[in-house]
């Protein structure tokens, strides 16, 4: 966990950070198409929303076809002590959005 999070601070999105750096004259404005989204909602607002959705669909299909995981029901865990039974915690996941850049700089 980050120090800012532990101390109750807010984490800054890449869009807000870029905006702040530009306002200070530290960074140059970039083409909005070059910004990689950090959340699913950001992909939907992106000018390339359809391309991101297609890429996510292809990635999901590959995970399913390669039997990367099995979906199973959560189990009760027997515990000894004041709490009788608890449920297993599911494993979380997160999409990471990165553009693949060729050696010549094209995407």
Same domain, 2 and 53: no
Q: What is the dihedral of CA 99, 104, 106, 107, to 10 degrees?
A: -30
Same domain, 42 and 92: yes
Same domain, 65 and 14: no
Across 18-27, 44-53, 68-77, 96-105, least confident range: 18-27
Mean pLDDT, residues 75-88 taken together: 64
pLDDT tens digits along 26-75? 655 555 556 788 899 999 998 889 999 999 999 999 999 999 988 888 87
Strands (E), the chain: 76-78, 85-87
What does the pLDDT read at residue 90? 79
Same domain, 22 and 51: no
Domain span at 41: 36-107
């Amino acid at each position: 966990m980050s120090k800012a999070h532990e101390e109750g601070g807010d984490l800054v999105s890449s869009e807000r950070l870029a905006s702040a750096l530009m306002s200070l004259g530290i960074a140059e404005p970039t083409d909005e198409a070059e910004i990689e989204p950090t959340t699913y909602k950001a992909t939907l607002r992106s000018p390339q929303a359809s391309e991101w959705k297609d890429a996510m669909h292809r990635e999901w299909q590959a995970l399913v076809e390669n039997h990367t995981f099995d979906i199973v029901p959560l189990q009760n865990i027997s515990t000894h002590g004041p709490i009788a039974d608890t449920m297993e915690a599911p494993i979380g996941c997160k999409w990471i959005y990165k553009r693949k850049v060729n050696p010549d700089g094209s995407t």
